[in-house]
Chains A and B, each alone.
Chain A
């Protein structure tokens, strides 16, 4: 029930915003996250943006995982690859998940 998914803010109008999730656009409320502006990634829960997603923190976490990845294993942040399981950083928006 506490599911939240990453969503990108496409535009804002007062307390309302259009967000994009997995290529779909929908309306959301930013009344609980008034600092959200166009271009931000947020966590969306039950139609409300509830938290900003911090890009630097996300990259630090990914780099930590990268350091832990097996030597000679998957390509890293600088070398995105197509196969499953890499850390390929695609320019696609977040996919909706269940």
Chain B
């Protein structure tokens, strides 16, 4: 490798020349209606921020799917975690994205105002450190995320058991991407011609899990996150639709192996088992969530802490569900930019930094 140039893996992929040419390729294609769904919040943000939707031909509709883990987390899970945070002697640890998400009665911020100790962590290992530093407290981590994140949570649970950190718990609301995509395809009235597949989820799971979708005639291209990556992936999808040869392709080959990351998968599968899970907007999807295995039950907050969140309701007048399934776009919502803004969010798609409504509001909305 000595004769190869030094790469930063970011700057080289931000060149504008190739982006223009890839865009030209899109515009030179025959016009016909095509709907491509992205299912990763980082793609949602990139498409909005870099103006890819506006720059694309009018016949090409780029729609957002259930790609934001914060957004698809049901109010029941949010309310349950908030109830846990209010228990005496508990430190509630969470990634920052969850702090502003409103639950049925209050959000985590509201719980903090009521005296709950809520700590924002960058990594699950920070949550585990909190448990070690506060042996008299019970630290409960809110396990939200897709396959990218679940192995890191599994690693923390395994480390907690190994080190005897008996005051470390996880409330697992993890979700799995491929079962949701299959469920989406079965939804009546939903027309998706192809999926722009998430790069970092796929770094863990690889390409194989999308194969059943491709076999149903739906092209799947695993994409990187720079503008050139996304434009190239769109062209790859359209090449597939043109040829009628639908398959799983990896545009993000620098970060994704076809078989994924075996060590991460092993870690995830050793701690978690698939379970049915409730998704905001999609309902309950079989085997689309992760529950903590019996072996690690002592660290499972859902087993250890009895709370009642039976009062949970989804916010009234919010169409986040339809937005998460690509059936509506944010401007279709009567609350969007009126009673629901990033400062005063009603639905999670406006709260999350990667939510579709937040992306539209920030980059595509003109008053």
Contacts and interface: CB of A to CB of B under 8 A. Distances in A.
Given A48-B155, A54-B254, A70-B21, A2 B201 contact: yes
Interface string A47-91: 110111111111111101110111001100100100011111111
B125 A68 contact: no
Interface of A: 1-6, 29, 31-35, 41, 43, 45-48, 50-62, 64-66, 68-70, 73-74, 77, 80, 84-95, 97
Given A1-B68, A31-B267, A45 B152 contact: yes
Contact of A90 (B8, B15, B148, B200): B8
Main secondary structure of the interface of A (DSSP, over half): loop
Nearest to B254: A58
A92 B70 CA distance: 34
Contact of B17 (A2, A32, A74, A90): A74
Given A29-B125, A91-B6, A97-B10, A53 B255 contact: yes
Contact of A32 (B7, B25, B251, B267): B267
A40 to B, nearest CB: 11
B27 to A, nearest CB: 14
A65 B228 contact: yes
Given A1-B354, A33-B264, A69 B18 contact: yes
Nearest to A64: B232
A6 B136 CA distance: 38
11 contacts: A1-B41, A47-B125, A48-B123, A52-B257, A54-B253, A55-B4, A65-B228, A69-B15, A69-B17, A88-B12, A90-B11
Interface string B1-31: 1001111111111111110111001000000
